Amino acid sequence: MYSTPTHSNGYQHQPGERRPGPGMSHRERGKRGARGRSKSRDSRDSHDGGGLRVSDQKTHQEQWPPCTDFDMAYFNSYAHVGIHEEMIKDRVRTETYRQAIMQHQSSIAGKVVVDVGCGTGILSIFCAQAGAKRVYAVDASEIALQANEVVKANNLSDTVIVLHGRVEDVIIDEEVDVIISEWMGYMLLYESMLGSVIVARDRWLRPGGLILPSHATLYMAPVTHLERYSESIDFWRNVYGIDMSAMLPLAKQCAFEEPCVETIVGENILTWPHVVKHIDCYAVTIGELESVSTRYNFKSMMRAPLHGFAFWFDVEFNGSVISPINSHAPSPLTETHPVDGSQRKKRSNPNEALVLSTAPEDPPTHWQQTLIYFYDPIEVEQDQLIEGSVTLSQSKENARFMNIRLEYASGGRSFVKESVMR
């Protein structure tokens, strides 16, 4: 997903409203409760074939976290068309998802699908085109209104049911066979949207069901980036012949205090990447994502100034897991995946699964890479050790923000940098 945080949620049960039952139509199985909607919208929603649905009650209120003001702001940001335009125009992202859907068509055709955070509904429509029997397109943002119109315009209202609300709140009265979601934020975990996928999995996914993407891996590596440092910092040393070096402390703070989302290339990377976190979407828990820590140990491949660390991720679209109960046990394929804390020189077998990568050496995506720059570079020699640790934790202020604590040491010098991705 795009990573500019903002929703309007908090729907309440309508007293006396009819609950879905086993004899109801497929469209009545999924609902998203009311919150004082206008008459014009109510009349449109009640239209046969293509009405947007709202939840009839809050469920699992004791189990799932409540919708906060920060969640509202996060969801509201996704009502802006520009965010969806940027994501859809990212051909690497969109084409990989479409290819994954077609690659798993045998698991989708005739089956029930949930699209978590459906946005404009494009992935839901891809699933319908792949032959899905029914697709629940869930989004808590007002973009769900447009998604519903898109579905109707493509004559898919009998297949795609748009549910306006949080995954934690919507009602789907049947097990689903497939969960699809484009949940990844910058640095993979920013925005904490994976938690909604986990909720959907635990609420609805049948044993042996399919999750797309199935696995994700976050990487980090030390970088050198002379051009970036020169543009942002060295520029102030001589400005039209004027010594403005007094600006340097402020320039460094403004340029590098927070993580930077930008594109680098393979030549900026000083070593093989380190695996910060590998995620099996069939097994990961919400608590596991609250704080992620790893220790790293790099050996520089060249002599160069070390300007900071880059983070990127890839996701894989593996097949379903067969398990006797809906316990979402780890996939047997996990053994071929990178282990947290390991270094990965290349994918063990690129043909095992379709991969969407945001690595510097791969085609660029809207996620780019996330850079944590030092205020002052460190000169490193070839084969010099760079070691330390990094901790990524959900902000207590807003779980969709990410606190980053980076400890690093090289050449007998130790440093700590703390920042917040907000």
Q: Give mean pLDDT, residues 356-378.
A: 98
Q: What is the pLDDT of residue 192?
A: 83
Structural element, H or E, at residue 173:
none
pLDDT tens readout for residues 276-310: 999 999 999 999 999 999 999 999 999 999 999 99
Is 325 buried (19+), middle (13-18) or exposed (0-12) by CB count in 10 A? exposed
Residue 61 has pLDDT above 70, yes or no: no
Active site residue 335: no
Q: What is the pLDDT of residue 377?
A: 96
For the chain, list the domains and their CATH numbers.
69-182 (3.40.50.150), 216-319+350-421 (2.70.160.11)
Catalytic residue among 182, 257, 335, 407: 182
Residue 350 has pLDDT above 60, yes or no: no
pLDDT tens readout for residues 180-196: 999 999 999 998 899 99
Residue 123 has pLDDT above 70, yes or no: yes
Q: Name the pairing type of β-strands 215-223 and 369-380.
A: unpaired
Q: What is the pLDDT of residue 51?
A: 60
Higher pLDDT, 324 or 322: 322
Helix/strand/coil (H/E/C) assignment for every residue in 216-240:
EEEEEEEECCHHHHHHHCHHHHCEC
pLDDT tens readout for residues 161-178: 999 999 999 999 999 999
Residue 410 has pLDDT above 50, yes or no: yes
Active site residue 191: yes
Cα separation, 139 vs 163, in Å, equals 6
Higher pLDDT, 32 or 407: 407
Q: What is the pLDDT of residue 33?
A: 36
Q: What is the pLDDT of residue 388?
A: 98
Cα separation, 420 vs 422, in Å, equals 6
Residue 5 has pLDDT above 70, yes or no: no
Output the pTM of the full model: 0.83
Catalytic residue among 85, 86, 168, 191: 191
Q: Which residue in 226, 219, 126 sits closest to 178, CA to CA?
A: 126
pLDDT tens readout for residues 230-255: 999 999 999 999 999 999 999 999 99
Cα separation, 23 vs 16, in Å, equals 19
Q: What is the pLDDT of residue 76?
A: 87
54-68, 79-93, 135-149: lowest mean pLDDT where? 54-68
Q: Name the pairing type of β-strands 134-139 and 112-116.
A: parallel
Are 8 and 14 a contacting pair, CB within 8 Å? no
Q: Within 10 A of 418 (CB to CB), how many other CB atoms are there?
A: 11
